[in-house]
């Protein structure tokens, strides 16, 4: 049951009356004068019903490199086929998903979502995308036990200029190895 908390209008003593006494005239236990219990309790005056539910405990956020990598596993050849079939539309989606994976691998935002979206529409941004993606190969290589990948970032840029589809397939292939390694 809620209680109405108010001050006696006569002697200013703090009083508590059960909610069922709302609007009733009672004798103040302090000054014995007849006083009326407030009819409409304000949320602050009502004890017990205004309690806020406790906030859920905040998740400890420790973005460790390689932690919580979203699963984006595809057959590399399927990336090529879908890219052609959808006239490149699939590649925009692919760029966004791959950016999420590579950002998780690196533990920071290497490729921003905007860059990922634009890279599907605009060749210079696409080359920039593979430049950034190539930079994460060191971390990808560390995850899959292939330290030699760190030397392939230049190759990624060159492929991004001349054969972006091949760059996408190679990248997808290495990313697949992350999940195979975990399984």
Binding-site size for Zn ion (CB under 5 A) equals 6
User: For residues 16 and 86, what is the distance between their CA atoms, to the nearest angstrom?
Assistant: 71
- By the rule CB under 5 A, 10 interacts with Zn ion: yes
The piece of 3-11, 109-117, 152-160, 174-182 that touches Zn ion (CB under 5 A) is 3-11
Do 139 and 103 contact (CB within 8 A), yes or no? no
The piece of 28-36, 102-110, 119-127, 165-173 that touches Zn ion (CB under 5 A) is 28-36
- By the rule CB under 5 A, 17 interacts with Zn ion: no
Six-digit token pair at 171?
A: 């990248």
- By the rule CB under 5 A, 28 interacts with Zn ion: yes
User: For residues 136 and 154, what is the distance between their CA atoms, to the nearest angstrom?
Assistant: 12
User: For residues 175 and 105, what is the distance between their CA atoms, to the nearest angstrom?
Assistant: 10
Nearer to Zn ion, 28 or 118 (CB): 28
- By the rule CB under 5 A, 75 interacts with Zn ion: no
- By the rule CB under 5 A, 26 interacts with Zn ion: no
In the complex, the smallest distance separating the C-beta of residue 52 from Zn ion, rounded to whole angstroms, is 32
Alpha helices in 10-122 (DSSP H): 76-85, 89-106, 113-119
Which residues, including other chains, have CB under 8 Å from residue 47's CB and lie 6 or more apart? Answer: 2, 3, 5, 16
In the complex, the smallest distance separating the C-beta of residue 25 from Zn ion, rounded to whole angstroms, is 13
User: For residues 101 and 104, what is the distance between their CA atoms, to the nearest angstrom?
Assistant: 5
- By the rule CB under 5 A, 161 interacts with Zn ion: no
- By the rule CB under 5 A, 8 interacts with Zn ion: yes
- By the rule CB under 5 A, 11 interacts with Zn ion: yes
The piece of 5-13, 17-25, 54-62, 158-166 that touches Zn ion (CB under 5 A) is 5-13
- By the rule CB under 5 A, 31 interacts with Zn ion: yes
| Ramachandran class of 63: left when φ > 0, alpha when ψ lies in -120 to 50, beta otherwise | beta
Interacting residues with Zn ion between 92 and 151 (CB under 5 A): none
Backbone angles phi, psi at 17, to 5 degrees: -130, 145
Residues interacting with Zn ion, by CB under 5 A?
8, 10-11, 28, 30-31
């Amino acid at each position: 049951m809620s209680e109405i908390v108010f001050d006696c209008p006569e002697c200013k003593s703090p009083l508590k009356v059960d909610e069922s006494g709302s609007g009733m005239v009672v004798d103040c236990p302090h000054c014995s004068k007849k006083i009326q219990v407030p009819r409409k309790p304000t949320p602050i005056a009502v004890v017990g019903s205004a309690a806020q539910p406790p906030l859920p405990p905040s998740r400890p956020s420790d973005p460790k490199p390689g932690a919580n990598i979203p699963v984006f596993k595809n057959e590399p050849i399927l990336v090529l086929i879908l890219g052609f079939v959808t006239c490149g539309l699939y590649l925009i989606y692919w760029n966004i998903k791959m950016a999420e994976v590579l950002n998780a691998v690196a533990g920071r935002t290497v490729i921003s979502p905007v860059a990922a979206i634009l890279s599907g529409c605009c060749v210079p941004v696409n080359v920039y995308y593979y430049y950034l993606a190539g930079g994460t190969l060191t971390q990808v290589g560390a995850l899959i036990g292939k330290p030699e990948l760190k030397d392939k970032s230049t190759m990624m840029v060159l492929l991004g200029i001349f054969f972006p589809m091949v760059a996408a397939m190679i990248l997808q292939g290495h990313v697949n190895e992350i999940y195979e390694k975990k399984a």
